[in-house]
Structure 1
């Protein structure tokens, strides 16, 4: 992975002499429990499906997604990871001006820049704990004629999250297209925060999800988008390759989205561990900890004697990797982010931070 996608475990293991398996990666925001055992076991026992072409219509996969997201089957588009859908949607919509809620994942700005789109950034502020007033945002949108508004929900890296009711307030008041990236929404209460059901009601919303983070399958490259605008949906599909989802990704997806035990266990444990880690980090006088609804927590080092980069290097010697957030627009060298790992790893992180800050 590049600097904008977490740590490169291959480089770090070579540089520091650790095996990749020894490193505790708190930088990449991936479900620490791995993927669905049901899905893995099916592939192991049916590996000969690699000799078959996937269903070009992906009917069973779309049915699984439809049930999982509580949205219409007809409103689903598939991509080779969420990144392909971000790129394809922006190219297809071809906005002349866009509002980007920041700080944010760098890929949004990169894709907008490729089409020479004028970008306006709406920054959440550290002094407001990165919380955004829906009233202020709606007023900004109503005063400007944006073609596209991009919202990562929960936001990476701040963890702030709009409820679906708040997003609906914006949808009611604007004709601008809103792209909601829900990469991390499954790590929180989807009934409150997910916007998937709004796609069947409003034509100016595109919701993007992937399986890399929650289902721990970045190697599969399986993403999906939800959109009710039939014309735009047809154009997006026309830009995608035939069989752009391989048969292993398609089959695993069908099973993962229906694996309730895996989904419930992951959500329950990660939410409990997020509370634990938030409470423990808040005990450090040297840290300011920001409330998060994602599976990660943003922190700022109060003391000017240590930067996030220095802290990161100190932790690497303990086989722990955190994310230095200086590459995020609007954040300085004192911000870092940690994701939620397994209980025993989270406790090692707290112990190691105690050793460093004491």
Structure 2
């Protein structure tokens, strides 16, 4: 990818291809989806806002906890949001009760699989059933699959296998390939009309020359994706066991992060030891007892394990 970005430097003096034609051709071949149904953007966030802008939804159904940009985009558009609370006792798994929220007044439904921040996958059966219900009701279904490539079987859990005209599936090329600074995502639309509207709703030159070059090169790195999945799976299992020793609960995850429950203030105590974890206090449906950590290299994960052990020992010393 780095070589591709450097090689693209000779074209930096030119405006980027607004349609990302070559990148879309590669995606079309990889996904077996017509290129006309694919829209590239400046990260998945960009495409979320563009979709809301072009759809003008009045009412939306969103699961919580979830990625904050969904509600931010909808609120900025003046959309009424109905929330479906994922329950802690179900490990924050989506249930078929969500479908009952999708009535004739709903314009758009938003799902995320694996969910951010919980890491939970939606069952393929429920995803297909939701897509069919949305198509029957004329509801746009936005399914964010930005972390899908980290799962062991993306082809099993992705909505792409059940795509219909109501569906818009988001994906990110910056997550699995670890290039967030380049900002690159894409949307697969079940309808070419939706794809055209989505493309026209954004900035004309939304994806830079180096980002397009990196994306094209990344999509040829199948071995890297496979190795990354294996690494994440091994280290996720290791971290789940380690965090479980010192914290109240670690929730099942299919992504490159783990949600866990622990005593409030753990993030501050770990920060004092040079370890940064994400407090989930500001996520709707969670609170000050919830934290998220990335699954990193083994040496970095061992540092987290050591810091957790030190924190636990310090707590016991104070209690004594």
TM over 0.5: yes
Structure 1 stretches of at least 4 aligned residues deviating more than 4 Å after TM superposition: none
- For structure 2, the 5+ residue unaligned runs are 314-320
CA RMSD of aligned residues (A): 1.7
Partner residue in 2 for 1:197: 161
Aligned residues: 309
8 Å Cα contact 1:326/1:333 also seen in 2 = yes
Partner residue in 2 for 1:338: 293
- Deviation, 1:248, is 0.7
More moved, 56-65 vs 251-260: 56-65
Normalised by the size of structure 2, how large is the TM-score?
Answer: 0.91
8 Å Cα contact 1:270/1:295 also seen in 2 = yes
In structure 2, how many angstroms separate the alpha carbons of the residues matched to 1:66 and 1:254?
12
Partner residue in 2 for 1:156: 116
In structure 2, how many angstroms separate the alpha carbons of the residues matched to 1:265 and 1:70?
23
Normalised by the size of structure 1, how large is the TM-score?
Answer: 0.82
In structure 2, how many angstroms separate the alpha carbons of the residues matched to 1:150 and 1:68?
25
Deviations 1:77-103 (A, max 9, x none): 111111111001011111111100111
Matches within 5 A, 1:135-284: 135-141=96-102, 143=103, 145-174=105-134, 175=137, 176-188=139-151, 189-199=153-163, 202-284=164-246
8 Å Cα contact 2:36/2:192 also seen in 1 = no
Matches within 5 A, 1:72-111: 72-111=34-73
In structure 2, how many angstroms separate the alpha carbons of the residues matched to 1:43 and 1:77?
21
Q: Work out whether 1:315 is the aligned partner of 2:306.
A: no
In structure 2, how many angstroms separate the alpha carbons of the residues matched to 1:127 and 1:294?
20
Equivalent of residue 250 in structure 2, options 289, 300, 311: 289
8 Å Cα contact 2:42/2:207 also seen in 1 = yes
Partner residue in 2 for 1:36: none
Equivalent of residue 349 in structure 1, options 300, 304, 312: 304
Equivalent of residue 261 in structure 2, options 300, 303, 318: 300
8 Å Cα contact 1:163/1:194 also seen in 2 = no
8 Å Cα contact 2:36/2:195 also seen in 1 = no
Matches within 5 A, 1:2-151: 39-133=1-95, 135-141=96-102, 143=103, 145-151=105-111
- For structure 1, the 5+ residue unaligned runs are 1-38
Secondary structure of the residue that 2:132 maps to in structure 1?
A: helix
8 Å Cα contact 1:82/1:224 also seen in 2 = yes
Secondary structure of the residue that 1:109 maps to in structure 2?
A: helix
**Distance change in 2, residues 1:273/1:86 (3 Å):** same
Secondary structure of the residue that 1:326 maps to in structure 2?
A: coil
